[in-house]
Chains A and B, each alone.
Chain A
């Protein structure tokens, strides 16, 4: 089936990808050949100062050809899908491979398999075009204007055809859709923020999130300055996700094997609180599960941290083979959960807390020391002092220095997993949490 959106644009269909890949596979003289497709059509309505500042729509189709003669390989790609350009791309890949040194880590394409079929292409998102995005942006802008506040944000949607085919019969094709909304509301110097991403554009909850963001911005006014130091914290889901994204990013198996990982010798050992579970949940409707990875491996449910114990690493195929790991897990749909009784909402966490700093989100998180996974970053868009179960004041933003391997050793209270997105992570499901100690190392001026 050819996919057509409301502007009449066609994504590469399964049959078309089969045709394009056959064009390469039947002409390739290499021992092994892999063809990868990414045909991405995306649009964004972006606004600031309650005005649309960018309204864009772009389609980029790209075909990458990997060939190998023995262990010599080459990769070439093109955005031109004409037969001549594709054959020229194959020729470039072959030319590279013939002069490449033998790669001792080269492996032939994975064996063909039946990939899971997932509901990755919601029709309402596939069909969404500029008018739908503008409608949502207009709704958020309108609410901000009514409150005499300043809104900046975006509404985006995308439809992508992804494919992989190899000369050993491996074949995968999937259509994937996604939509996102994020909003920063400025009330003078104060800001509030929220974000959402979902396979279905109908699930962005633009009105609900806009009202919540306006409320947070208003509460962020009249901030006081607290000294840097150790505080109990309530981390909203985006803040938890920011820290966990770096932990997940550091699970690289090759670094582990070479001894240049924060997790050296920790596989099979407790690394965080024994109630914490980290899973890949590709079938969860609120996550961005996929049928297969760019390596051509199936995406399956898996457990990465089991009751605080590290159970999995992120393997490339060569390291997996050398370590005797038969099934390579993926982690494109991470869900973090905590065993035991949870509270219903962030408001319940606040009500149950005597004194803490409530953090909406972290910004510009970067590693300071990869050996300990020591991270730094700033609080952003809504930081508050909680006393006796209530928000008593907004506070100026802090810089932190902390390792997720330390702060997640103990949690006082948590919610069930909630949707979390921030500007530097993908989508995760994580709980909001109360942590007993968190190191804020300096204060900024706003």
Chain B
């Protein structure tokens, strides 16, 4: 899979690192192709085909890191960049008080390939643009729709990781996604409703199975219903949250606080720290006994299931919250030893070749319960069912949060009735999760992912999937998302 120049470059870089006296080093060479087709208001607004090739060299010298990267992959540039990474690491070491010590990891020599039925890059552009144009036309057939959008995205990453410890891992990974949105206009108000496939490591079968054309009439009709829907009365409600909505709630209120680098202060200047400090591990009641949140970077098709992370650590499955108690973190080889763990959880990832890897949220999912969705709703007298993503905001310790959604339905006396608009709920993370008193069973489990999880300076995007079945939360504070509240 890798070309001779990749192997030669890797060998060249590792030789320089070994000669420098550094205790560790690695090189990642990556060739990424991305196709993004965007439709807007019944037209194809852009088709972009990006090719991004480069390499990054990471060096640990006397317990301090240096990293350098370049988009010029040549036998002249590789030694320059390797030497620069070494020099930078030496500079870092000159002022370091505490030395970085890496958790041990066996040497791996492997090749990871995303299985797929239909390579999205072999599907004709005509077919894809036709799908998007037809989807937008279908959205506009609904009276009251003022604007529409539809898009398809596919990415292929070919990557080589080689370390001074002897690991050599190759990847050929795919990911894809598709979506459509309708915006309705009524009496000066506007409201949108969306349908999107999850971001998954699948071929074009992901788009075929999702069938945007089948979903478009429902999406358009619900956008119109939503813009005309009554506003919620502020107050305390029981909520039943669908898997797509929960993916964001899990991401923000469990995923980020369980990143160990955050908990140790590495992100204090930007993304923030975490209320889940190491002293709470093993004893803190994060949620009710119904709440088990599990990190699984081994589940096929999910974004973080890449076989190995960018430390060359094998992907794993572990508990973050077990029966309501906070028990585990997402870690890398650098931070795992700081809490006495002997092995990294394999959550160290870089946004492309040009960035240094850091701890990222794993595929954290909510374990299914035993109820059906209908049973969850049946036991709600005064509540709201929420689908999809809307507005969201959370403080820098991931404690005080606020979420909106994409679709809201009133629940009255155990029945889902009419749509609502401008619903916002807020709370304190552990109080919210302790209010969970039911999770639906595995049959309604769905997976949704993110490719734009922002963290780090310079900013990097992280990719991960969050699976959940619908879940019920008691006594949540709901407010109206408009000024008349």
**Residues of chain A from 209 to 227 with CB closer than 8 A to chain B in the complex:** none
Closest A residue to B273 by beta carbon equals: A186
Within 8 Å of chain A (Cβ to Cβ): is B183? Answer: yes
Cα-based distance from A130 to B92 in the complex (angstroms)? 10
CB distance from B195 to the nearest CB of A (A): 19
Q: By the criterion CB–CB under 8 Å, are B71 and A60 in contact?
A: yes
**Residues of chain A from 47 to 84 with CB closer than 8 A to chain B in the complex:** 48-62, 73-81
Within 8 Å of chain B (Cβ to Cβ): is A114? Answer: no
CB distance from B458 to the nearest CB of A (A): 6
Q: Size class of A's contact patch?
A: 35 or more
Q: By the criterion CB–CB under 8 Å, are A258 and B146 in contact?
A: yes
Q: By the criterion CB–CB under 8 Å, are A445 and B400 in contact?
A: yes
Q: By the criterion CB–CB under 8 Å, are B400 and A56 in contact?
A: no
Q: By the criterion CB–CB under 8 Å, are A259 and B88 in contact?
A: no
Q: By the criterion CB–CB under 8 Å, are A54 and B356 in contact?
A: yes
CB distance from B349 to the nearest CB of A (A): 14
Q: Which residues of A contact B96 (CB under 8 A)?
A: 51-52
Q: By the criterion CB–CB under 8 Å, are A376 and B393 in contact?
A: yes
Q: Contact mask B342-362 → A, CB, 8 Å, 1/0?
A: 000000000000111010000
Looking at the complex, which one of B64, B270, B426 makes contact with A52 (CB distance below 8 Å)? B64
Among A92, A105, A371, the one with the most B-chain Cβ atoms within 10 Å of its Cβ is A371
CB distance from A409 to the nearest CB of B (A): 13
Within 8 Å of chain B (Cβ to Cβ): is A19? Answer: no
Within 8 Å of chain B (Cβ to Cβ): is A247? Answer: no
Within 8 Å of chain A (Cβ to Cβ): is B402? Answer: yes
Q: By the criterion CB–CB under 8 Å, are A134 and B92 in contact?
A: yes
Given contacts A42-B458, A131-B91, A397-B395, contact A54 B69 (CB under 8 A): no
Cα-based distance from A89 to B402 in the complex (angstroms)? 44
Within 8 Å of chain B (Cβ to Cβ): is A369? Answer: yes
**Residues of chain B from 263 to 280 with CB closer than 8 A to chain A in the complex:** 264-270, 272, 275
Q: Which residues of A contact B395 (CB under 8 A)?
A: 363-364, 378, 380, 397, 399, 444
CB distance from B419 to the nearest CB of A (A): 16
Q: Which residues of A contact B404 (CB under 8 A)?
A: 368
CB distance from A49 to the nearest CB of B (A): 5
CB distance from B252 to the nearest CB of A (A): 10
Q: Which residues of A contact B428 (CB under 8 A)?
A: 444-445
Looking at the complex, which one of A152, A364, A371, A403 makes contact with B394 (CB distance below 8 Å)? A364
Closest B residue to A98 by beta carbon equals: B125
CB distance from B340 to the nearest CB of A (A): 18
Q: Contact mask A357-380 → B, CB, 8 Å, 1/0?
A: 000000111111111101011101
CB distance from B283 to the nearest CB of A (A): 18
Q: By the criterion CB–CB under 8 Å, are B188 and A264 in contact?
A: yes
Q: Contact mask B46-65 → A, CB, 8 Å, 1/0?
A: 11111111101000000011
CB distance from B470 to the nearest CB of A (A): 24
Q: By the criterion CB–CB under 8 Å, are B67 and A56 in contact?
A: yes
Looking at the complex, which one of A44, A79, A105 makes contact with B52 (CB distance below 8 Å)? A79
Within 8 Å of chain B (Cβ to Cβ): is A93? Answer: yes
Given contacts A51-B98, A92-B49, contact A152 B482 (CB under 8 A): no
Q: Which residues of B contact A364 (CB under 8 A)?
A: 393-396
Q: By the criterion CB–CB under 8 Å, are A152 and B68 in contact?
A: no
Q: By the criterion CB–CB under 8 Å, are B269 and A59 in contact?
A: no
CB distance from A178 to the nearest CB of B (A): 12
Q: By the criterion CB–CB under 8 Å, are B71 and A61 in contact?
A: yes
Cα-based distance from A76 to B356 in the complex (angstroms)? 26
Within 8 Å of chain A (Cβ to Cβ): is B221? Answer: no
Given contacts A80-B53, A258-B146, A260-B147, contact A100 B125 (CB under 8 A): yes
Cα-based distance from A178 to B402 in the complex (angstroms)? 35
Looking at the complex, which one of B43, B71, B84, B456 makes contact with A101 (CB distance below 8 Å)? B43
Cα-based distance from A145 to B92 in the complex (angstroms)? 16
Given contacts A100-B44, A445-B400, contact A156 B98 (CB under 8 A): no
CB distance from B186 to the nearest CB of A (A): 10
Q: By the criterion CB–CB under 8 Å, are A57 and B88 in contact?
A: yes
Q: Which residues of B contact A51 (CB under 8 A)?
A: 96-98
Q: Which residues of A contact B402 (CB under 8 A)?
A: 368, 376, 399
Q: By the criterion CB–CB under 8 Å, are B92 and A49 in contact?
A: no
Given contacts A44-B457, A55-B66, A441-B479, contact A78 B146 (CB under 8 A): no
Looking at the complex, which one of B41, B87, B268, B482 makes contact with A369 (CB distance below 8 Å)? B482
Given contacts A58-B56, A59-B71, A104-B43, contact A372 B89 (CB under 8 A): no
Closest A residue to B394 by beta carbon equals: A364
Within 8 Å of chain A (Cβ to Cβ): is B391? Answer: yes
Within 8 Å of chain A (Cβ to Cβ): is B95? Answer: yes
Cα-based distance from A74 to B125 in the complex (angstroms)? 11
Within 8 Å of chain B (Cβ to Cβ): is A253? Answer: no
CB distance from B403 to the nearest CB of A (A): 10
Within 8 Å of chain B (Cβ to Cβ): is A341? Answer: no
Q: By the criterion CB–CB under 8 Å, are B399 and A445 in contact?
A: yes
Looking at the complex, which one of B54, B68, B146 makes contact with A60 (CB distance below 8 Å)? B54
Looking at the complex, which one of B91, B129, B399 makes contact with A100 (CB distance below 8 Å)? B129
Given contacts A96-B125, A183-B269, contact A75 B48 (CB under 8 A): yes
Closest B residue to A180 by beta carbon equals: B457
Cα-based distance from A444 to B431 in the complex (angstroms)? 13
Within 8 Å of chain A (Cβ to Cβ): is B284? Answer: no
Within 8 Å of chain B (Cβ to Cβ): is A184? Answer: yes
Looking at the complex, which one of A191, A363, A366, A399 makes contact with B426 (CB distance below 8 Å)? A399
Within 8 Å of chain A (Cβ to Cβ): is B444? Answer: no
Closest A residue to B124 by beta carbon equals: A99
Cα-based distance from A76 to B400 in the complex (angstroms)? 43
Q: Contact mask B254-267 → A, CB, 8 Å, 1/0?
A: 00000000001111
Q: By the criterion CB–CB under 8 Å, are A62 and B71 in contact?
A: yes
Cα-based distance from A33 to B450 in the complex (angstroms)? 34
Q: By the criterion CB–CB under 8 Å, are B49 and A76 in contact?
A: yes
Cα-based distance from A96 to B37 in the complex (angstroms)? 11
Among B43, B64, B88, B479, the one with the most A-chain Cβ atoms within 10 Å of its Cβ is B88
Closest A residue to B44 by beta carbon equals: A101
Cα-based distance from A45 to B125 in the complex (angstroms)? 43
Cα-based distance from A7 to B81 in the complex (angstroms)? 10
Looking at the complex, which one of B54, B70, B80 makes contact with A8 (CB distance below 8 Å)? B80
Given contacts A7-B84, A54-B65, A104-B43, contact A368 B126 (CB under 8 A): no
Cα-based distance from A41 to B87 in the complex (angstroms)? 17
Looking at the complex, which one of A50, A186, A259 makes contact with B190 (CB distance below 8 Å)? A259
Q: Contact mask B159-195 → A, CB, 8 Å, 1/0?
A: 0000000000000000000000001010011100000
Within 8 Å of chain B (Cβ to Cβ): is A28? Answer: no
**Residues of chain B from 385 to 410 with CB closer than 8 A to chain A in the complex:** 391-397, 399-400, 402, 404
Q: By the criterion CB–CB under 8 Å, are A57 and B68 in contact?
A: yes
Within 8 Å of chain A (Cβ to Cβ): is B452? Answer: no
Q: By the criterion CB–CB under 8 Å, are A366 and B66 in contact?
A: no
Within 8 Å of chain B (Cβ to Cβ): is A122? Answer: no
Within 8 Å of chain A (Cβ to Cβ): is B72? Answer: yes
Within 8 Å of chain B (Cβ to Cβ): is A275? Answer: no
Q: By the criterion CB–CB under 8 Å, are B50 and A77 in contact?
A: yes
Looking at the complex, which one of A259, A399, A442 makes contact with B146 (CB distance below 8 Å)? A259
Q: By the criterion CB–CB under 8 Å, are B458 and A55 in contact?
A: no
Q: By the criterion CB–CB under 8 Å, are B56 and A53 in contact?
A: no
Looking at the complex, which one of A7, A79, A100, A264 makes contact with B53 (CB distance below 8 Å)? A79
Q: By the criterion CB–CB under 8 Å, are B47 and A100 in contact?
A: yes
Q: By the criterion CB–CB under 8 Å, are B129 and A134 in contact?
A: no
5 pairs, A vs B, C-beta closer than 8 Å: A56-B356, A57-B84, A154-B269, A366-B392, A370-B190
Question: What are the 3 closest A-B residue pairs judged by CB atoms, nearest first?
Answer: A152-B268, A444-B400, A79-B71
Interface of A with B (CB < 8 Å)? 7-9, 42, 44-46, 48-62, 73-81, 85, 89, 92-93, 96, 99-101, 103-105, 130-131, 134, 138, 141, 150, 152-154, 156, 182-184, 186, 191, 193, 258-260, 264, 363-372, 374, 376-378, 380, 397, 399, 401, 403, 406, 423, 441-446
